[in-house]
Structure formats: C-alpha cells, structure tokens
Structure 1
C-alpha cells in the first residue's frame, strides 16, 4: 500500500505545479515579489488565480485546472492582458545611474556606473520594473509578440530561461544596506537627472530608494514624477 504524501509535501508539490504554470516574468503585478511567492499564496488560499496579467486568460485557465477552482476573468485591478514586451533604453539620455540594472530581475540590462546601459533583448521579460526607477525617463517598452497576448506570446522555454536567470540574479544580489535609511535618496535622484552624460552625478542605490519609499512612498513617487516631467520637457526643448 502506497503511503499518502504528508500535507507539507502535498502543498510543496502544488506550489511547484502552480509556479510552473506562471510565465516567470517576475513583474510583481500580482501583488507578490515574484512568481514563486504568488504560487505559494495561491496554494495557501491567500491569493486568487486571476492576478497574473502576463499569463492572461489562458494563465487563469491553467491555474484553475491545477487548483480545481472555477475559471474567472483576469483581475483588472492587477493589470490587463497584453503582448510580450521588450524594454529599450534611449542611450542618448541614459545617465548611467545603474538603477535599472538593479531593478531588472533577469539581469537583462548591462552597463557600468556613469556609462550608458543597454538591454539584452533575449533576456528581457518585459516586466516593466526598470521603467519607474529611471530618473530621466529614457526607457520605453515595445511589443515583441505582435498581436499575441498572454501565454500565446510566451513559451515554456522562455519561461524556463526567465526562471533560471532570476534564480541566478537572486544569488548575485548584494545585501541590502539597512544603515542610514533616507541617505539623501531624493536629492540624489534630482541631482542625477539634472546632469548631462559627461558631467559627474550621484545616484542613490536601490536600498536607498527602498528605504526612502518605506519612509514616505507618496513623497518618493512625487519626486520621481517631477524629475520625469522635467526630463520630458528637456527632450521637447531639445527637439525644437
């Protein structure tokens, strides 16, 4: 007689099956820090199966089949189904702050401090995490799948590649500096955004931004929005 798996093993197996059905963009739009965390939340009954915009309607159907839940519409609160996108950096405007490099979950952005960065397209999942951290608004997203959306725009090999690169990224991630929470993050953002590529500039680390956000998320959002607005104005002035 075959022994039944323990509850803990059964839950781990369920988490693995759910995680395998997610596109592994690591975009956080589901409300969780990564796909595995979302899979665990679904398995624990703490999250719905309809919170993954990159997976789209087919993704919801896959999760419904795995969990035994009834299919349901994608939650618009978490985003809309769309094509697979790829990020591109306007290198003429890049100030080399490295914030996008730190934000990328698959290490698809390469570059060095105070030097322009570029996106390695095959590794980009279109997660959009690099867009809001760019202080000069030089990152744009373009469709990489035409009219195909959701899982139709993805494939198992792409998801596996993203999963593996995210795992490698986590291993290489530097430890977060818990000292000096504010660390002048807001001033550093504006300083970096107002400088030209060939001028010295100081940008905050990802831990500085996280700390500033924890202290006052609204102030951080407003500061970044103001910097991005000025960057757009400078672009428009330069094009005339």
Structure 2
C-alpha cells in the first residue's frame, strides 16, 4: 500500500466516521463508531447503525459511492440511561462498560449517569446485577421542537460522544501500558536483587539465570508492542496514538537495554 493509498483510506475513514452518530453502542457489530468506519472501508455493509437510522445510511451511500440499503435493524431514537439510585449496590460494572465515561460513582457507592454525556448506547444495562438501569427517551431530544433543534442535538451528541470515546480509549491504553511497564520493572528489580544476593549453589544460580532471561524476554515483548502500536497509529494516521507510542518508546528501549546488560554481566562473571 502506497502513502497515497494510506492517505486516501484515512480520509475516507474520517468522512464515514463524521456521518456516524457516535453512540459507540456496538449494534453494528464493531466496538465503536470509528471501528465501524474502518470496517466499512474494508467492505462492511453501510446499513448496520440503528441509532443513525435510514438517514445515516443515505449519507454513507453518498460518501462511499455504494447503493443505499434498508436498515438491517429498526431505527432507534436517542435514549439516556437512568439508574434507580436507591437500588444501586455500587458494583461499578456499569462504569466499566460505559464507552464514553458518562457514569459517576465508586465501589460500594451509589452511581449516577451524566445525562448530557450519555449516548444511550445501552451497554451499561446487561452488566448490572440488580437490573436497576432503565433506558428512557433522552430529555434533550424530547425537548427539541423543530428539525433544526433536533439536528443540533444530534450534532452535539456526536461531537461529545467522539471526544469522550477517544479520551477513554487513550486512558485505557495508557493504563495498560503502565501496567506492562510496571511488570517489566518488577522483573528487573527481582533480577537485580537476586544478582546482588550471595549464590547458594547451582540451583540458585540457575534460578537467577532464568529470572534474567525472563526479564529480557518481557522487555523485548514490551518494546515489540510499543513499536507495533506506533506502526498501527501511523497506518491509521492517528496523531494522538502516534505521539503516545513515541513517548513510550524510549522507556521500553531503556528497560530492554538494562535487562540485556544484566544478563551479559552475569554471563561474563560466570
């Protein structure tokens, strides 16, 4: 694939994503609107977005140059999740499921939905163990009296939904990277501690060697993941993801260099 092809593909993905409602509901079979846009570019059908309705199908047909199709599922009007707070047990499962971080709460504390930020995706309903979440018509949609007001609401929901979905994905990716880095650091510390302790025989020496080798392997895997994330971000023309991967690259390279150096020093000492 040439640079021109990559640029054209990225432009088409952006154009398709701009037409989607950004509810991030997964009813299309993809984990969000952006992934659905990417799937459409790869050949996925354009009629699998109930929250967008037939109107979105028509716009997607124009953008992609494909024929319009009837919606695969019935259209869905804008909804909002509503937690019956007196029944909430504070399990946090709905918070973890929300793709736009529109639910506030903490473990064993009452949860509540931020109405203005809820996209009505329904993903919080199924995980709730006490079935205390209702889906209601969104009050902002109900209050809109003209087509212009309804269009304005949908535009606001789409923009906010996209921003919060992307912010959540960045947060989760950062947390995952931090966990991996912490694991690498723990392995290296264990290796250093075992290396500084007196050797109690061949069994202990073999154990230390395995620890060092594990540290090198784990650091290699971490570096490989960061490089893969960087390549993926560049293919998708995702500037934020590329910047995050570039920021993680020096730390991953440093951890690998330290692990390799410790292994080499141990081999030389023997």
When normalised by structure 1's length, the TM-score is 0.66
Q: Any conservation in 2 of the 1:86–1:124 contact (CA below 8 Å)?
A: yes
Task: Determine if the alignment matches structure 1 residue 14 to structure 2 residue 4.
Answer: no
Indicate the structure with greater helix content: 2
Would you say the 8 A contact 2:52–2:76 is kept in 1?
Answer: no
Question: What is aligned with 2:105?
Answer: 111
Q: Is residue 2:65 matched to residue 1:68? A: yes
Q: Which consecutive unaligned segments of at least 5 residues does structure 2 have?
A: 181-270
Deviation at 1:72, TM superposition (A): 0.9
Matches within 5 A, 1:29-108: 29-45=27-43, 47-76=44-73, 80-108=74-102
Contact 1:84-1:154 within 8 A present in 2 as well = no
**Counterpart-to-counterpart distance in 1, 2:76 and 2:132:** 22
Q: CA deviation at 1:153?
A: 8.7
Deviation (angstroms), 1:81: 0.7
Alpha-carbon distance between aligned partners in 2 of 1:8 and 1:154, rounded to the nearest angstrom:
33
Tell me the SS of whatever aligns to 1:92.
helix
Check the 8 A contact 1:83/1:147 in 2, yes or no.
Answer: no
Report 1:193-208 matches (<5 A). Answer: none
The superposition leaves residues 26-63 of structure 1 with CA deviations (integer Å, 9 ceiling, x where unpaired) of: 00000001111110110111x10000001000000010
Q: Higher Cα Rg: structure 1 or 2? A: 2
Q: In structure 2, the residue corresponding to 1:130 is in which secondary structure?
A: coil
Whole-Å separation in 2 of the counterparts to 1:159 and 1:90: 26
Q: In structure 1, how many angstroms separate the alpha carbons of the residues matched to 2:6 and 2:166? A: 23
- How many pairs were matched up? 170
With structure 2 as the length reference, what TM-score do the two structures score?
Answer: 0.59
Q: Does 1:164 align with 2:163?
A: yes
* Structure 1 unaligned blocks of 5 or more: 179-240
The change in CA–CA distance for 1:29 and 1:154 in structure 2 (over 3 A counts) is: farther
Match of 2:154 in 1: 155
1:109-188 correspondence to structure 2 within 5 Å: 109-144=103-138, 145-146=141-142, 154-173=153-172, 174-175=175-176
Q: What RMSD in Å do the two structures reach over aligned CA positions?
A: 2.5
